Amino acid sequence: MIPYKIYLSEDEMPKQWYNVRADMKNKPAPLLNPATKEPLTLEELSVIFCEELAKQELDDTDAFIDIPQEIQNFYKMYRPSSLVRAYCLEKKLNTPAKIYYKFEGNNTSGSHKLNSAIAQAYYAKTQGLKGVTTETGAGQWGTALSMACAYLDLDCLVFMVKCSYEQKPFRREVMRTYGAKVTPSPSMNTVIGRKILEKHPNTSGSLGCAISEAVEVATTTPGYRYVLGSVLNQVLLHQSIIGLETKIAMDKYNIEPDVIIGCAGGGSNLGGLIGPFMREKLLGKKDYHFIAVEPASCPTLTRGKYVYDFCDTGMVTPLAKMYTLGNGFIPSAIHAGGLRYHGMSSTLSQLYADGYIDACAVKQTEIFEAAELFARAEGILPAPESAHAIKVAIDEALKCKETGESKTILFGLTGTGYFDMYAYEKFHDHQM
């Protein structure tokens, strides 16, 4: 029998990340300088990002990249993350399907974002920098980055969207516990912040505005660089640890998934989970059905256009070719904050354009129904973002019940929902 949880020993843990771009025939389009419309060079990128990360951002050729020993050591504190056979959920659904999930919520930050936070903080430290700046919306990325910076003794400046700063005081305090300086955005600390406040003194802020402030501080303060928790090539690279561990664990028991499902905000957890499986598909060795799940209110892949667009609302970042709803798109205030992004990783965008990935969009009430069913069966209380993947995994399992097929379904469970109880409350009170 396959165990409930498949473990990896420290020796079995991946020692290299996987860079899917190396195996893609059609490479993702490069980031462009918005002024010249020319591809960004290493020098230009290194003004904003740490140099080693800028190199990773541009690397289209190396399939495997060594994970520095210090990052491997940090991973050992909370990894491998559990790969769980969802026997209880299968029983509850009475399905012949076999369901597995990879759970990334077992660390204090509560999500997969720590996998890239530690890598980005490490490269900042080895470059001899004093600190990093970033933005956070819902708070998961800021929390993960503060943990990583505390471990490496780096300064961490977080611009937190003002409404989240006020509505999610506990997230804010977790970050401060780890030593981060958290500033509500827009703030009076930056030129762009002052400009926005002058025009809109009562604004509750936005992610786009917080990005602009964090980039401004990074590029005008010596010894600081900007870091980002999703969308970028380098982030997908670091998140490949999720898929690599999953593949090693599944291979031990000769398990082959038929369907692989993940929620898609900027694309980092999905890109990381499917990476090594996508490799086999790209090399023509195996076939897998990949499904990206997004909210109906922010349907980037299913309804967006595949064009060059800014990564932020303030139009200060480079241009990326991606599926996008437009940098001015403001999604309704759904509770899955991590999925409210107008664009999508350029790597996943290219794979989707080439037909390697399917996508679907699901409604908010459906995902909370799925989240609750899952919590009652498997015990884990999922983040609303993660519940998007749960919803589609359940749908696939119910299809198997009708057809009698016993497919193997794998999905990414990206995090826990302890800071989302206000959203659960709305759902329970039928106010959603």
Ligand X SMILES: *Cc1c(COP(=O)(O)O)cnc(C)c1O
What's the min distance (Å) between Cβ of 229 and ligand X? 7
Residue 220 Cβ, how far from ligand X at the closest point, in Å?
27
Report CA torsion sign: 110, 114, 116, 121. positive
Among 56, 212, 230, 240, binds ligand X (CB under 6 A): 230
When asked if residue 265 is in the footprint of ligand X (CB under 6 A), the reply is yes
Burial call 316-354: b when 16+ CB within 10 Å, e when fewer: bbbbbbbbbbebebebeebbbbbbbbbbbbbbbbbbbbe
> Shortest approach of ligand X to residue 145 CB, angstroms?
12
Query: Does the footprint of ligand X cover residue 140 (CB under 6 A)?
Result: yes
**Site mask for ligand X (CB under 6 A), range 313-342, x = bound:** -------------------------xx---
Residue 113 or 391 having the CB closest to ligand X: 113
For residue 8 the two structure tokens come to: 């990896």
CB of residue 103 vs ligand X: minimum separation in angstroms?
11
Is residue 304 near ligand X by the rule CB under 6 A?
Answer: no
| 269 belongs to the binding site for ligand X (CB under 6 A) | yes
Q: Output the smallest distance, CB 228 to ligand X, in A.
A: 10
Rg (CA), the chain: 20
Q: Considering only residues 361 through 400, tell me which ones interact with ligand X, judged by CB under 6 A.
A: 383, 385-386
Question: Given candidates 79, 113, 247, 407, which one binds ligand X under the rule CB under 6 A?
Answer: 113
Minimum CB separation of residue 11 from ligand X in Å reads: 28
How far is 144 from 184, CA to CA, in rounded Å? Answer: 18
d(CA 417, CA 342) in angstroms, rounded, equals 23
Query: Which of 212, 414 has the CB closer to ligand X?
Result: 414
**CA 413 from centroid of its chain's CA atoms:** 11
The reply on whether position 266 binds ligand X by CB under 6 A is yes
Query: For residues 244 and 393, is the Cβ–Cβ distance under 8 A?
Result: no
Sheet containing 181-185: order of strands: 181-185, 155-161, 131-136, 224-226
Binding-site member from 268, 346, 347, 350 for ligand X (CB under 6 A):
268
- Interacting stretch for ligand X, rule CB under 6 A, among 70-78, 211-219, 263-271, 318-326? 263-271
Number of residues that bind ligand X (CB under 6 A): 18
Please spell the DSSP secondary structure of 175-204, one letter per residue: HHHTT-EEEEES-TTSHHHHHHHHH-TT--
Q: Report the candidate in 293, 380, 369, 286 with the shortest Cα–Cα distance to residue 84.
A: 380
Report the residue number, 100 or 224, with the smaller CB distance to ligand X: 100
- Residue 186, preceding peptide bond in cis (omega within 30° of 0): yes
Task: Choose, by CB under 6 A, the member of 147, 264, 293, 311 that binds ligand X.
Answer: 264
How many CB atoms are closer than 10 A to CB 166? 13
Enumerate binding residues for ligand X (CB under 6 A): 111, 113, 140, 230, 263-269, 338-339, 383, 385-386, 414-415
